[in-house]
Amino acid sequence: MKSLRRDPSSNSQAANVASKVFVRSTRSGKVQKIVRELYLRQDIPCSSKLCSICPSIAPPDRNGNIAPFVLSDQPAGTKAFPRGHYLVPDTNALMNGMDLFEHTGAFYDVIILQTVLEELRNLSLPLYNRLLALIKTDDKRFYLFFNEFRLETHVRRGADESINDRNDRAVRTVASWYSEHLKTSAAKKGKKAKSVPAIVVITNDKGNLEKARSENVTALSLSDYVSGLEDSERLLDMITEAQVRESKGPGRGELFYPEYYSMSKLQTGLRAGTLHQGVYNVSPYNYLESSVKVPAFDKALLILGRDNSNRAISGDIVAIEVLPKDQWKSPSTKLVDEEAVTRNDNPDSEETEAVVSDKERKALQDEVKKAHGKSSEGNPQPTAKVVGIIKRNWRQYVGHVDSNSTGSQETSGRRQQNVFVLPMDKKIPKIRLRTRQASSLLGERILVTIDSWPRDSRYPSGHFIRSLGELETKGAETEALLLEYDVQYKPFPKAVTDCLPKEGHDWKVPQSKEDKGWKGRRDLRHLQVCSIDPPGCQDIDDALHARPLPNGNFEVGVHIADVSHFVKPNNAMDLEASIRGTTVYLVDKRIDMLPHLLGTDLCSLKCDVERYAFSVLWEMTPNAEIVSSDFTKSVILSRQSYSYEQAQLKIDDKSDTTELTESMRQLLRFSKILRQKRYDAGALNLASPEVRIEADADEVGDPLNDVKTKAMLETNSLVEEFMLLANISVASKIYDSFSQTALLHLINQLSKKRNMELDVSSSGALASSLDRCVDPKNPFFNTLVRILATRCMTSAEYFVAGAHAEPEFRHYGLASPIYTHFTSPIRRYADLLVHRQLASAIGYEGEDGHAVIEGVATRGKLEDICRNINYRHRNAQFAGRASIEYYVGQALKARGEMEQKKNADADAGIKEEGYVMRVFENGVVVFVPRFGIEGVVRLEDFVLPGESASFSASERRDLAIHRTTEFDPEEYTLRVEEKGHPEKERSVQVELFQRVQVNVSSVKEEGRGAGKRRVRILILDASDK
Amino acid sequence: MSNPRQASSASQTPHLSPAELSYLYTSLSLPKGPIRPDGRSPTQFRPLTAETDILPGTNGSARIGFADGTQAIVGVKAEVEKTVLASDILQQDVENDLQAPSDRRDGAESTPSAAAGGHGSWVQMSIEIPGFRDDDALPVFLSEMMRESLVGSVTDAGKGRDTEMAGGLKGRLVINKRWHWRLYIDVLLLSQPLSYPLPLLSLTTHLALLSTKLPKLKSQGEEDPFFDDDWGVAEHLYPRPSPSASATSSQIRPPVTLLVISVGDNVIFDPNREEISVADAVLAISITRNSEGQGLKLLSIRTIDPPSRLTQPGVPNSENLSTMAATGNSDNAAAANPSAGQEEVPGVWRPRRGGIKRSVITELTRTVLKKGGVGEEVLEGLEGVEV
């Protein structure tokens, strides 16, 4: 009987067939044995330009081309490898040193094994993606070698061999194969074997190193290899902290944190509903308090203290367990700042650490007292503890070295030492960093990453990536902002710029109407179109017109830049734009979504130039009732581009009766009617503080004069109103055509704010209850409430129509049943998608005759894009806001310096009006509308009546301990008084929404050396005048 | 209707004439030991070849081929399944304990609950025989017969041996109170059933189960099961003795079912088709090693409907009408019903009426179970197969 078993040892024919066997557990709980057959081949090239064999055997693609070889013929050498070397890292080396491999100073010509790549994917998806990106870039010369598919390098697992041992063996096998292969190839060329580069295996595994030695394979540990490079100290810092610790040996001291549950236990719990999963969110005002929103509870679950948060970091997806009801508490009424509480922690001394330091315990105990004290009427919220991490969302963090933590070892020079890094984001805990260059990092903005948070350490440990430059410098701070908000700011790669029209700036709308560019386009060049934008706007994406029709009705048109004409689906430019998602506006910088050429020229609807557009045309009755609407691709010629002020002047200028001005007047009239209709339908008039900074103002004057709150002109709302109308019309059109995949935009339900009696059941009810919130004494009160209400709303999100039921489509704030974004395709990717959908909905076939809808028609893909756009959109807003905040700080600082020059009186600051936005037990949050900023006012920063008006921060520091407060959580009032002086005249009482006089200045934090600058707000006078 | 499919018995009777049947019967029932057509001794098995792990996609597989050309392949697949109503049964069980602890009729048999002791239905067996539908009597009967012994074989726990197999195969399939493995044993007979395929299928199933592995469990206790994705660390369904343990025989193995016939006072093992067709009784005997790993244990004996019942009888000369015409005997009534209880005439075939003598059964069990007996021989032979 002939054996049916496939056994390579008994059958030489089967040598080129191997199989890969593994167990796959599916989401539904099935467990399958999977067998994949591997057909081993001998034509996978080594991809070294030195090789003379592989070019002849490498398989060509469909066009007969062989993939270009990657590895250099003159690889860089080091002292140890003067002839040059190729690197073969194992998985661990990549896990620990990905930042090194990404470094541009070293690590070229790297052979990445398929085995290693797959192993890395199982261990860490982000690292895997970074490695893939590295392999894709040409200049680092990373070659992905499919060793498992090549006959010579495929390794069969031995009988009792663990997977790790087998993979290590695979790495060594590849290394020895490569050196043999290159030697043979060199011999063929008649060269000496001497000229062959060394193949260096990088591994941290001791056993592997030993085996490599006995097998005559060159192998080095990552740190040994890096030590042999130039600039090794800087590079050594980039090795992951975990690995350094590991080599130091485990079992050091007590374990501070409870262990996480095992993955299977977590999953059992999550499925059974005893555990919950959600995003871990740290309170910006109290670093010991965080919340996790889970579907099972209406209110977010509170997590109090380090014990319960158990090494979770803001943004992680965690599994939590609800604590028993007697441990439920109300949310904190106190400001707790990590930097202040843990100022004196020493990064080196672990022994004295406890998870909950005494100070922290005290802060927490106060809380408990509070919760128990008013348990009768108080409303304790459910609390929970973190029992496991589903997914870490660690990223790279921008921060600076805490100068306190380096103090003791200042003189030790280049020795490795532990320092703390204070991340810019207050929600992120201090990061312990081991570095050899502590002294040179002081006073710099640096980029670090978290590697691990071991159970025996109070703080996470991380490693240094790079320095952004000196603190407070424009370059460093801007880059820090962009990094912190994950904005893609690198220049567009060549693949993207290749997608631009070849004519460059000379591109023009084709003269002849026979040209394919005119196909399906209407000629609207005769219309009196104009654009109205903020001054200095370069990326004009909308223009308008209105003209009377013979039947007494009006034709109104909104023309949007036809970006989808230039950005074809699924090419490199489209992909890049979809990743960037939106253009980001900083005070002095704009990070474009599309390359400059398109955004500010070819797509921009500049005046007196013919441009492609996507037009929405309505026929309206004089009462702004829409008779019909029409969508078409078109060619327009804008007659004028106005700024809001210019347009307003034109309209107001009674003597001006040109057709263009008349049409603007008509538009304005319509816009007022439309607006009123919208409010009648219950639309919200929500406010968000907007501050504009005109950075180009002259330098002699008061720098604060550049800071302007945005003025609302009638023309602003004119444009706004028609854009809304266009968006609504387009939304219903594409929803009709693509009910499953239309890209729409909705604002989620409003979450309730604690102290206001607002009716949130519908936007209409909210609008009227907002209107009722008027305080006759305080004209700004209504705006304040509106600002708060806007903040409470979960910001609007894009979604794919098929994913929601139709009643959920409503746009809350606009009181419109359906909404999308159509009008800004130059700066929002969502609009671009909507353009494509609309083009397809109206049957536009594109220049070459086939539909352009491909790529936007699949729901899954669209949902991915939506998620990314929503994320980018949010980040772009945050980045913009942070940029303004930074600029205001700088302006204050410049002013402070100027004042100082005039008279020696130190940091005088500027007097302004502020409003109390939140009240805590030991401080308040004040909003200064003039600058659009918000700041915390601590006890010491209350200027009590009868006090010397010295505002110096250093003098005031000690005041806090002499003060007591009376906090009324029901009335939201806080009274600050000096100990032993309870007289009313000597105390200050503030309440929520109260107007206060404040002194705003920019101070450098003291006691922290190079510490950062912050905006300091002093409450001068709380009497409401 | 002579459709062989309808026969639930050890059918596929060869078309032998009554004279041939009678000759065969006589040879096999010789008091001094039978003379078998192929010259084997009564306890001798036909030679076979075996191999395991032939189907990479299964959890375990085996193939056995007899020298006569019959071949079978068995593949075993395991699937994780939620134990339904485990809590209800537990609850019920507790109540039972409270109400009538002494009311248990068969203390040894009753499993405390499906969750703890496993359930017989977790082993599913399907047999495919060429020319038969899956709901035909033969495959159904065969699979039930083999499954019964597999599920029923419960090794006594204790005596310092690892308790993993304490509950037998069903117990081994329990992951925790809420989860268990379901085992699909697919038996495929590759050739026409030249002889009654039971021994072939049973031996193949035995080997396949021995080679069966289950993914290694990573979760603990009552958690939802979570498995190691490395097949290399998967564990055998029938755990292997650790290399330190000396005797290989101490391994717990699945039972095997042997086919035995009795002809006269003789007991004949591994009968071929012709031998079955004249058997007085056909028996399926399931045996396994007992817990000490030394002796053997009889799990079950089942009788199978002997096909000889259906054969046409031979007619003695005395009753042959064609020869009787000369004698002029007019007693035709007897001739009309030749099978009517008449004296057995040597050399004339009579269909066997079934039934088996006590002494034959005793002899049979002794031959199987005795030290160095047939059972041991078979099991040792199987243990010799490298799994």
Which CATH number do you get for residue A1012?
2.40.50.140
Cross-strand partners of A914: A996
Q: At A651, is the secondary structure helix, strand, or coil?
A: helix
Is residue B337 a part of any domain in this protein?
no
Q: What angle is formed at CA A858 by the lines to CA A855 and CA A864, rounded to 5 degrees?
A: 85
Q: Are residues A398 and A508 in the same domain?
A: no
> Which of B205, B227, B248 is the endpoint of a domain?
B248
- State how far residue B259 is from chain A, nearest Cα, in angstroms: 24
pLDDT tens, residue by residue, A109-155: 899 999 999 999 888 888 888 898 888 888 888 999 999 898 888 88
> Would you call A35 and B56 a contact, using CB atoms and an 8 Å cutoff?
yes
Is residue B333 a part of any domain in this protein?
no
Number of domains in chain A: 4
Residue whose entry in the numeric block shows the structure tokens 């009597």: B137
Nearest CA in chain B to A24: B229
Q: In this structure, are strands B281-289 and A85-89 parallel, antiparallel, or unpaired?
A: unpaired
Query: How many CB atoms are closer than 10 A to CB A383?
Result: 24
> Which of A825, A860, A878 is the endpoint of a domain?
A878
Q: Are residues B229 and B267 in the same domain?
A: no
Q: Are residues B261 and B297 in the same domain?
A: yes
Q: Are residues A228 and A267 in the same domain?
A: no
Query: Which of the four pLDDT bands, split at 50, 70 and 90, describes residue A468?
Result: confident
Kindly state whether B141 is in contact with chain A, defined as any CB-CB distance less than 8 angstroms: no
Q: Are residues A161 and A273 in the same domain?
A: no
pLDDT tens, residue by residue, B171-183: 888 888 888 899 9
> Which of B193, B214, B248 is the endpoint of a domain?
B248
- As a whole number of angstroms, the distance between CA A103 and CA A116 comes to 20
Is residue A309 a part of any domain in this protein?
yes
pLDDT, mean of residues A670-692? 72
pLDDT tens, residue by residue, A456-467: 788 888 888 888
Q: Comparing A152-161, A729-738, B149-158, which segment has the lowest mean pLDDT?
A: B149-158
pLDDT tens, residue by residue, A977-1014: 776 666 666 677 777 777 778 877 777 654 433 445 66
- State how far residue B146 is from chain A, nearest Cα, in angstroms: 25
- As a whole number of angstroms, the distance between CA A299 and CA A276 comes to 13
Q: What is the pLDDT of residue A794?
A: 46
Q: Comparing A499-513, A813-827, B272-286, which segment has the lowest mean pLDDT?
A: A813-827
Those residues whose C-beta lies under 8 Å from the C-beta of residue B378, and which sit 6 or more positions away, are B45, B203, B256, B258
- As a whole number of angstroms, the distance between CA B318 and CA B334 comes to 11
Q: Are residues A666 and A556 in the same domain?
A: yes
- State how far residue B267 is from chain A, nearest Cα, in angstroms: 30
**Domain span at residue A214?**
54-239
Query: Which of the four pLDDT bands, split at 50, 70 and 90, describes residue A559?
Result: very high
Q: Are residues B66 and B131 in the same domain?
A: yes
Which CATH number belongs to the domain containing residue A130 in this structure? 3.40.50.1010
Q: What is the pLDDT of residue A253?
A: 55
Q: Are residues B189 and B274 in the same domain?
A: no
From the centroid of its chain, how far is CA B249? 21
Q: Which two tokens stand for residue A546?
A: 């209105």
387 residues of chain B, pLDDT tens digit each: 344 444 444 455 667 888 888 899 999 988 888 899 888 888 888 888 888 888 888 999 999 998 878 899 999 999 998 887 545 554 444 444 444 444 434 433 344 455 567 788 889 999 998 888 888 888 898 888 888 888 877 654 444 444 556 567 888 888 888 888 999 999 999 887 777 888 899 999 999 999 999 998 888 777 778 888 888 888 888 887 766 544 444 577 888 999 998 888 888 998 888 888 888 888 899 988 876 656 788 888 888 888 887 788 888 777 777 766 555 444 444 444 444 445 677 778 888 877 788 888 888 888 888 887 888 888 888 887 776
Transcribe B123-159 into DSSP letters: EEEEEE-TT--TTSHHHHHHHHHHHHHHHH--PPP-T
Q: Are residues A454 and A503 in the same domain?
A: no
Q: What is the pLDDT of residue A54?
A: 86
> Which of A878, A897, A932 is the endpoint of a domain?
A878
From A180, A159, A157, select the one nearest A167 (Cα to Cα).
A157
Which CATH number belongs to the domain containing residue B172 in this structure? 3.30.230.70
Q: Are residues B295 and B385 in the same domain?
A: yes
> Which of A414, A439, A471 is the endpoint of a domain?
A471
Q: Is A921 left (phi over 0), alpha (psi -120 to 50) or beta?
A: alpha
Query: How many CB atoms are closer than 10 A to CB A81?
Result: 19
Q: Are residues B308 and B177 in the same domain?
A: no
Q: Are residues B304 and B262 in the same domain?
A: yes
B-facing residues of A in 991-1010 (CB < 8 A) are none
Q: Which amino acid is at A778?
A: N
A-facing residues of B in 79-108 (CB < 8 A) are 79-80, 82
From the centroid of its chain, how far is CA A546? 41
> Using a CB-CB distance cutoff of 8 angstroms, which residues of chain B are in contact with residue A268?
219, 222-224
Q: What is the pLDDT of residue A88?
A: 92
Q: What is the pLDDT of residue A7?
A: 58
Kindly state whether B231 is in contact with chain A, defined as any CB-CB distance less than 8 angstroms: yes
Q: What is the pLDDT of residue A193?
A: 56
From A765, A761, A764, select the one nearest A749 (Cα to Cα).
A761
Q: Are residues B144 and B88 in the same domain?
A: yes
Q: What is the H or E stretch that residue A281 is in?
A: strand A275-282
Is residue A147 a part of any domain in this protein?
yes
Q: At A370, is the secondary structure helix, strand, or coil?
A: helix
Q: Are residues B24 and B63 in the same domain?
A: no
Q: Are residues A577 and A608 in the same domain?
A: yes
Nearest CA in chain A to B73: A4
Is residue A694 a part of any domain in this protein?
yes
Half-sphere exposure (CA, 13 Å, Cβ side) for B360? Answer: 20
Q: Are residues A123 and A199 in the same domain?
A: yes
**Domain span at residue B78?**
50-99+113-248
- State how far residue B312 is from chain A, nearest Cα, in angstroms: 38
- As a whole number of angstroms, the distance between CA A594 and CA A579 comes to 11
Inter-residue contact A674 to A544 (CB < 8 Å) = no
Phi then psi for B73, rounded to 5 degrees? Answer: -120, 135
Transcribe A809-869 into DSSP letters: G-BTTTTBS-----S-TTTBHHHHHHHHHHHHHTT---TTSS-S-TTSS-HHHHHHHHHHH
Transcribe A202-247 into DSSP letters: E---HHHHHHHHHTT--EE-HHHHHHTSTTHHHHHTTS-HHHHHHH
> Would you call B231 and A19 a contact, using CB atoms and an 8 Å cutoff?
no
pLDDT, mean of residues A774-799? 56
Question: Residue B191 burial (CB < 10 Å; 0-12/13-18/19+)?
Answer: middle
- As a whole number of angstroms, the distance between CA A785 and CA A592 comes to 34
Q: Are residues A310 and A183 in the same domain?
A: no
Secondary structure of A307-335 in the HEC alphabet? HHHCCCCCCCEEEEEECCHHHCECCCCCC
- As a whole number of angstroms, the distance between CA A949 and CA A208 comes to 70
Q: Are residues A234 and A269 in the same domain?
A: no
* Strand ranges inside A621-697, DSSP E: 626-643, 691-693
Q: Which two tokens stand for residue A885?
A: 């905040």
Question: Per mean pLDDT, which of A810-814, A1013-1017, B231-235 is the most reliable?
Answer: B231-235
Q: Are residues B34 and B64 in the same domain?
A: no
Q: What is the pLDDT of residue B209?
A: 92
Q: Which two tokens stand for residue A410?
A: 């200042």
Is residue B331 a part of any domain in this protein?
no
- As a whole number of angstroms, the distance between CA A989 and CA B244 comes to 82
Is residue B2 a part of any domain in this protein?
no
Write the DSSP symbol of residue A154.
-
> Would you call A4 and B51 a contact, using CB atoms and an 8 Å cutoff?
yes
Q: Comparing A375-379, A789-793, B204-208, which segment has the lowest mean pLDDT?
A: A375-379
Kindly state whether A33 is in contact with chain B, defined as any CB-CB distance less than 8 angstroms: yes
Is residue B325 a part of any domain in this protein?
no
> Which of B248, B266, B285 is the endpoint of a domain?
B248
Q: Which two tokens stand for residue A478?
A: 């801007």
Q: What is the pLDDT of residue A783?
A: 63
Inter-residue contact B168 to B151 (CB < 8 Å) = yes
Is residue B3 a part of any domain in this protein?
no
Q: Are residues A410 and A535 in the same domain?
A: no
Q: What angle is formed at CA A1012 by the lines to CA A1009 and CA A1014, rounded to 5 degrees?
A: 130
Q: Which two tokens stand for residue A593?
A: 């979504």
Q: Are residues A306 and A440 in the same domain?
A: yes
Distances (CA, A) of B54 to A19, A157, A985, B62, B207: 13, 18, 94, 6, 11
CB-defined contacts A:B, below 8 A: 79
- Average pLDDT over chain A, rounded to an integer: 76
Residues making up chain B, counted from first to last? 387
Number of domains in chain B: 2
- As a whole number of angstroms, the distance between CA A149 and CA A885 comes to 55
Phi then psi for B283, rounded to 5 degrees? Answer: -125, 145
Is residue A342 a part of any domain in this protein?
yes
Q: Which two tokens stand for residue B323?
A: 């020869």
> Using a CB-CB distance cutoff of 8 angstroms, which residues of chain B are in contact with residue A271?
224
Per 3-state DSSP, chain A is made up of helix, strand and coil in percentages (nearest 5) of 35, 25, 40
From the centroid of its chain, how far is CA A205? 36
From A86, A97, A6, A3, select the one nearest A46 (Cα to Cα).
A86
Kindly state whether A36 is in contact with chain B, defined as any CB-CB distance less than 8 angstroms: no
Is residue A23 a part of any domain in this protein?
no
Q: What angle is formed at CA A755 by the lines to CA A749 and CA A757, rounded to 5 degrees?
A: 65
pLDDT at position A181 over 70? yes
Inter-residue contact A98 to A394 (CB < 8 Å) = no
Q: Are residues B193 and B262 in the same domain?
A: no
Burial B331-358 (b: 16+ CB within 10 A, else e): eeeeeeebeeeeeeeeebbbbbeeebee
Q: Are residues A734 and A828 in the same domain?
A: yes
Cross-strand partners of A289: A304
Those residues whose C-beta lies under 8 Å from the C-beta of residue A545, and which sit 6 or more positions away, are A527, A528, A529, A530, A556, A557, A559, A663
> Would you call B234 and A23 a contact, using CB atoms and an 8 Å cutoff?
yes
Q: Are residues B177 and B134 in the same domain?
A: yes
A256-260: long-range contacts (C-beta < 8 A, 24 or more apart)? A256/A353, A256/A354, A256/A355, A256/A455, A256/A456, A256/A457, A256/A458, A257/A306, A257/A307, A257/A310, A257/A311, A257/A355, A257/A455, A258/A307, A258/A310, A258/A387, A258/A455, A259/A455, A260/A310, A260/A387, A260/A388, A260/A389
Chain A contact probe: residue of B46, B58, B76, B80 with most A CBs at under 10 A: B80
Those residues whose C-beta lies under 8 Å from the C-beta of residue A730, and which sit 6 or more positions away, are A616, A631, A820, A822, A834, A838
